[in-house]
Chain A
Amino acid sequence: MLHLILFLFFGTICVAGAVNLLVQSHPINSALSLIVVMASLSAEYLLLGAEFVAAVQVLVYAGAIMVLFLITIMLLNAGKEERTKGSRVATMLGVPGVVIGTVLVAWTLLGRSSTTQSVSIGALWGAPKDIARLLFHDFLLPFEITSVLILIAIMGAVVLASKPEAAARGPRKDG
C-alpha cells in the first residue's frame, strides 16, 4: 500500500516537473524542472528495486549532465524566452496526435491489466553485481563497441570545436 502511494507520489511530481519544464519561460527554471523530473524518476527506479540504476540516474544525469546545462545557461546569460502563438500546423497535427497516443497507451495497458502483477522492493534483480555481470560478461562486445562510439563522438566534437590549423597559425589581422 505504502509502496503504491509512494509510486503515485513520485509519478505525480515527475509529470508536474515535465509540464513545468514546458510552461516556464526562463531557461534556468526549465533546467531545474528537468532536474526534478530526473530525481523523481530515480525514486521510481528505487521503488521498482533497481537501486543501481537509480543511483546512476542521479549521479550521471542530475549530478553531471544537468550541471553542464546550467553552466551553459549561466555562461550565455540566456534571458526570458519570447512567447509566440506557435504554428497552425503544429496545433492541427499535435493535439490529435497527443490524444491518439494517450488513447493507444491507455488501451494497451488497460487491456493487459489482468495479466500484470505488482512487485515489492527487491523482487526484481538490479543489484550492481548482476548488472556488472551482464555488462562485462554477457554483453561485453556491444558494451565496448558503444564506448568506442562515444570516444569517436568526443573526438568529433573536439575537431569541430577547435579552429582550423591554418587560421590558428596565420597572422591575426584584427590584432
Chain B
Amino acid sequence: MSITTFIIISIIKSAAVVGILLTAVAYSVWLERKVSARIQNRWGPTRVGPFGLLQPLADGVKFIFKEDLTQPHVYKPLYIAAPMIALVFAITSISVIPFGNWVEVGPWGTYLQITDLNIGLLVVLGITSMGVYGVALAGWSSNSKYALLGGLRASAQMISYEVSLGLSLVGVVIMAGSLSLREIVDAQGGVFWGFIPRWNIFHGQTLAFFIYMISAYAETNRTPFDLPEAESELVAGYHTEYSAMKFAMFFMAEYANMVTVACLATLLFLGGWHGPIFGPPILQALMPVFWFCLKVFFFMFLYVWVRWTLPRFRYDQLMAFGWKFLLPLAIANIVYTALVVALRAQYPGTF
C-alpha cells in the first residue's frame, strides 16, 4: 500500500468513525429520554419527527443558538478550555477500538479500526484518564462553590475507581496474553460444548466483568455514582456555570465516554464482533459489525435502565465501596486468574 492510499484510507476511516460516534452520542440522548419516559409511564419526545427521532437535531440547533453566558467571576482561559479538554479526550479514545474484522472494498482491504496498536488497551485507559482534567478544571475555573465541590468529587471519584477498573482488566489481559484489543477479541473466538461462546465473561472472568461495569459507571459519573452533578445538593455540579454549546460539550463528552466504555466492555468481555455468522457473502461480511453494534447497544440500554432504577450513593459509601470492596475483589481476581493460567501451562489438560 502506498503512503498516499494509506493516508486517504486513514482520513476516511477517522472521519467515518467520528461521524458515527457523534451520531451515536446524539441518539443515546434520544434513547435515554425515550426509555426514561417509558420507565416513568410517559411518552418522551414525540413531536419532532416520527417517534421524536429528529429531537437530537432540534436540541443541537437549540444549543448553538442559545446565549453563551460567561460569568464575570470565572477564570477565563481554563473556563473556556475545560469543555474542549473533556470532549477532545472523550472522542480521541475511540481511535483504537476495533469494530469488526478485515473487510475488502475492491482492491483495497482494511481492518475496521482507525489503527491497531499493540498497547491499544493502555492507550484507551490513558486517554480516558486524561478526561478527568476537563471536569476538574471546569469545577475550579468556574470559581463557585457548587462547581468546585462537583469538580473535587468528580476527580476524587474518577481516580479511585480507575484503580479497580484497571485492575479488573488485568485478568482479561492475562487470558489473552496481549494488550492489543484485536488480539484480545481474537482470543475469544470459538465455543464451549458446541453452544456456549468462548467469551471472557463465560470463561472465568465473570467477576472481572461486574467489577469493570461498576467501576465504569463511576468513571463516567453515571447513576448510582453521579455525585459530581447530584442535582439535589450541588445544582449541577461542575457544569453549573456553563450554558449553551459549552454545556453541550460536557454533555457530549459524557455520552461519548459511555459509548467508549460500552465498546470496551463488548471487546473485552463479550467477544467483540464474534457471533453466529450465516447467509450470503455480503451478509457474512456485515454480520460481525452487526453483532458488535448489538452488544454496544445492549450496554447503552443498560446504562439508561440503571440510571432510572437505582438511587444515588452517599459520598462516604462511594469511597468505602471503591477502596474496601471493589479493589480487594479485583486483586483477588488477578491472583485467581494468574494461578489458573499458570497451572494450565504446568499441567496441560487437567484444568
Which of B129, B132, B158 makes the CB contact (< 8 A) with A59?
B129
The minimal Cβ–Cβ distance linking A136 to chain B, given in whole angstroms, is 11
A128–B118 CB distance below 8 A: yes
Q: Which of B96-130 contact A (CB under 8 A)?
A: 117-119, 122-123, 125-127, 129-130
Given contact pairs A64-B162, A74-B140, A51 touches B133 in the complex (Cβ within 8 A): no
Given contact pairs A58-B130, A74-B148, A67 touches B125 in the complex (Cβ within 8 A): no
Q: Which of A32-75 contact B (CB under 8 A)?
A: 32, 35, 51-52, 55-56, 58-59, 62-64, 67-68, 70-71, 74-75
* In the assembled complex, B152 has its CB within 8 A of some CB on chain A: yes
* In the assembled complex, B78 has its CB within 8 A of some CB on chain A: yes
Q: Which residue of B lies closest to A66 (CB)?
A: B133
Contacts of B123 in A (CB 8 A): 55
* In the assembled complex, B139 has its CB within 8 A of some CB on chain A: yes
Q: Which residue of B lies closest to A51 (CB)?
A: B119
* In the assembled complex, B155 has its CB within 8 A of some CB on chain A: yes
A67–B159 CB distance below 8 A: yes
B130–A63 CB distance below 8 A: yes
Interface on chain A toward B: helix, strand, loop, or mixed SS? helix
* In the assembled complex, A28 has its CB within 8 A of some CB on chain B: yes
* In the assembled complex, B136 has its CB within 8 A of some CB on chain A: yes
The minimal Cβ–Cβ distance linking A56 to chain B, given in whole angstroms, is 7
* In the assembled complex, B237 has its CB within 8 A of some CB on chain A: no
Contacts of B125 in A (CB 8 A): 59
B129–A63 CB distance below 8 A: yes
B136–A70 CB distance below 8 A: yes
* In the assembled complex, B156 has its CB within 8 A of some CB on chain A: yes
Complex Cα–Cα for A157 and B152 (A): 22
Which of A58, A62, A67 makes the CB contact (< 8 A) with B136?
A67
Contact with A along B142-172 (1 / 0, CB 8 A): 0000001001100110110010001000000
The minimal Cβ–Cβ distance linking A171 to chain B, given in whole angstroms, is 25
B119–A64 CB distance below 8 A: no
The minimal Cβ–Cβ distance linking A46 to chain B, given in whole angstroms, is 10
Q: Which residue of A lies closest to B131 (CB)?
A: A63
Contacts of A52 in B (CB 8 A): 119, 122
* In the assembled complex, A8 has its CB within 8 A of some CB on chain B: no
A71–B129 CB distance below 8 A: no
* In the assembled complex, B179 has its CB within 8 A of some CB on chain A: yes
* In the assembled complex, A127 has its CB within 8 A of some CB on chain B: yes
Which of B126, B133, B137, B159 makes the CB contact (< 8 A) with A55?
B126
Which of A59, A64, A67 makes the CB contact (< 8 A) with B122?
A59
Most buried by B among A58, A63, A64, A128: A63
Contacts of A35 in B (CB 8 A): 133
Complex Cα–Cα for A58 and B117 (A): 16
B139–A51 CB distance below 8 A: no
Contacts of A51 in B (CB 8 A): 117-119
Contacts of B119 in A (CB 8 A): 51-52, 55, 128
A75–B132 CB distance below 8 A: no
Contacts of B127 in A (CB 8 A): 58
Contacts of A55 in B (CB 8 A): 119, 122-123, 126
Complex Cα–Cα for A62 and B131 (A): 11
Complex Cα–Cα for A55 and B117 (A): 11
A74–B136 CB distance below 8 A: yes
The minimal Cβ–Cβ distance linking A50 to chain B, given in whole angstroms, is 10
Q: Which of B179-199 contact A (CB under 8 A)?
A: 179
Contact with B along A106-128 (1 / 0, CB 8 A): 00000000000000000000011
Complex Cα–Cα for A62 and B123 (A): 13
Query: Could you list 15 examples of A-B contacts with CB < 8 Å?
Result: A52-B122, A55-B119, A58-B126, A58-B127, A58-B129, A62-B126, A63-B129, A67-B136, A68-B159, A70-B136, A70-B137, A70-B140, A70-B155, A74-B136, A128-B179
Beyond A28-B78, A70-B136, A71-B152, 9 additional contacts (C-beta under 8 Å) are: A32-B78, A64-B162, A67-B129, A67-B132, A67-B133, A67-B159, A71-B156, A74-B151, A128-B119
Interface residues of B (CB under 8 A from A): 78, 117-119, 122-123, 125-127, 129-130, 132-133, 136-137, 139-140, 148, 151-152, 155-156, 158-159, 162, 166, 179
